[in-house]
Amino acid sequence: LAKTTQPISMDSYEGQEVNITCSHNNIATNDYITWYQQFPSQGPRFIIQGYKTKVTNEVASLFIPADRKSSTLSLPRVSLSDTAVYYCLVGTYSGAGSYQLTFGKGTKLSVIP
């Protein structure tokens, strides 16, 4: 069953690019990788999802190497409003109709003026 590991915290200055890496060594063939952002007392918000190589949308990029054992969320030119907890999620089919949908511990990103 896939389990994710992320850095507990990261600091960055405004305007810099931030890369947060998630390890998922036991990712299964059909698993997707999804990243979420969460502000205090709010529900997580979908950022980006990918299966392999690179995915880009209007807010972020997701890089997934060929072995898919890790993924890197890239946030370009962060601002103070990007201060939040970022979660990497790998959905894993556990068999017999059971799915493991487990959040990792998340990375608290603090953006400094």
Partner 1 sequence: DTEVTQTPKHLVMGMTNKKSLKCEQHMGHRAMYWYKQKAKKPPELMFVYSYEKLSINESVPSRFSPECPNSSLLNLHLHALQPEDSALYLCASSLGPLGTGSGGGYTFGSGTRLTVV
Q: Which residues bind partner 1 (CB under 8 A)?
A: 31-32, 34, 36, 41-46, 49, 87, 89, 91, 93, 97-99, 101-106
Check: CB of residue 31 under 8 Å from CB of residue 14: no
User: Cβ 15 to partner 1, closest distance in Å?
Assistant: 28
User: Cβ 35 to partner 1, closest distance in Å?
Assistant: 9
Sheet holding 61-64, edge to edge: 18-23, 70-75, 61-64, 53-56
Q: Which is nearer to partner 1, 13 or 46 (CB)?
A: 46
State how beta strands 84-95 and 33-38 pair: antiparallel
Cα angle value 81/82/85 (rounded, 5°): 125
Q: Which is nearer to partner 1, 13 or 99 (CB)?
A: 99
User: Cβ 91 to partner 1, closest distance in Å?
Assistant: 4
